[in-house]
Structure 1
Amino acid sequence: MESITIDATDLLLLDALQKDASLSNQALAALAHISPPTCLRRVKRLVDGGLIEKQVAILSTDQLAPLLGHGLQAIVEITLERQGEEAQTAFELRVAADEAVQQCYRVSPGPDFVLVVHARDMPDYLALAQRLFTSDANVRNVKAFFSVKRSKFGTRVPLPAKS
């Protein structure tokens, strides 16, 4: 991937897309005060440059709960027995491949990993724990915190002020 430079217009486009990725190209162009073809080229360059990883729909857990059940959201701290690069990479690849793992972070100091996981219910969480933690001989400690209320959820990356 080649190096990419960005300017105030790119920052404006990135910020607008973080707030609402469903904006049409025409609406985005108008917001940035550029022509639609220029806007399309710029957004494609930002995607090709890796600054925009993907565009997704963020679902409302509160609206889905009556239809699918609330489920369990947990933040899980994992400490490995061996912390070498090979052991950490192996664990990371295994948990990243599991659909129940929404986020995975290597952290320091403290535990080696912090995961955000989602399970349908407690039996589903126990199956996840068995699959990802108990069956791994290199997992020394697991500490799970179950969410009782989500006070804030966001995906926006703060960007510098546009000049």
Structure 2
Amino acid sequence: MTDITTPIDLDATDLRILDQLQRDASLTNQALAAAVHTSPATCLRRVKRLMDAGVIERQVALLSPAKLGAGLTAIVEVTLDRQGAEHLAAFEARAVADEAVRQCYRVSPGPDFLLILQVSDMPGYHALVQRLFTQDANVRNVKAFFSVSRAKFEPSVALPAAATT
């Protein structure tokens, strides 16, 4: 497996494959190959290479939180009292282990963490506050923002232009 922090060279075919998979990862290999104008064997080999290199981290289905009873999204800034590496790592481990935490970023400057939470409702948020923030003596400040509407949610990554040779 290639080091995931090292960028790999992507040609135009790789970029077409990635673009199609970001739009619809459920495509069969045959359909994907047809869409990117390559043979199924070549397409399969390239997808495997992109997965082995860590460019494709995983393939998932995007679900509607609201239709599954998790209609409250909160964006939460968390500042810790002590920012030593062990304290940051301990909070991060607790945060990422919580099912309601959908995304966790260690950020700088400003707060130490930015969390994206998905809970059913305000009582669900309150329960999360109790288990993740209130019981942690190292949490100094929590600032929450609640989504009233989602204008855009795009999990795809902007792809670079293909290198011309």
Global fold match (TM > 0.5): yes
CA distance in 1, matches of 2:69, 2:156: 27
Tell me the matched-pair count. Answer: 159
CA distance in 2, matches of 1:91, 1:69: 27
CA deviations 1:2-23 (Å, max 9, x no partner) are 2543222111111111111111
CA distance in 1, matches of 2:49, 2:28: 17
Following superposition, the deviation at residue 35 of structure 1 comes to 0.7
CA deviations 1:73-117 (Å, max 9, x no partner) are 100000000111111111111100111000001111111100000
- Give SS of 1:145's match: strand
CA distance in 1, matches of 2:90, 2:12: 40
Which AA in structure 1 matches 2:100?
A
After the TM superposition, list the runs of 4 or more consecutive aligned residues in structure 1 that deviate by more than 3 angstroms.
none
Matching of residues 134-153 of structure 1 within 5 Å:
134-153=134-153
Residue 44 (str. 1) matches residue 27 (str. 2): no
Following superposition, the deviation at residue 69 of structure 1 comes to 4.2
Matching of residues 70-81 of structure 1 within 5 Å:
71-81=71-81
CA distance in 1, matches of 2:69, 2:12: 44
Which AA in structure 1 matches 2:15?
L
Identity %: 68
Specify the alignment match of 1:19 in structure 2.
23
Q: Which runs of 5+ in 2 are unaligned?
A: none
Specify the alignment match of 2:116 in structure 1.
116
Q: Structure 1 49/140 Cα, relative in aligned 2: closer, same or farther at 3 Å?
A: same
Q: Which runs of 5+ in 1 are unaligned?
A: none
CA deviations 1:16-69 (Å, max 9, x no partner) are 11111111111111122211011111101111111111111111345x1xxx54
Residue 106 (str. 1) matches residue 106 (str. 2): yes
Residue 5 (str. 1) matches residue 4 (str. 2): no
TM-score, normalised to structure 1's length? 0.91
Contact 2:2–2:52 (CA under 8 A) maintained in structure 1: no
Match of 2:32 among 14, 28, 33: 28
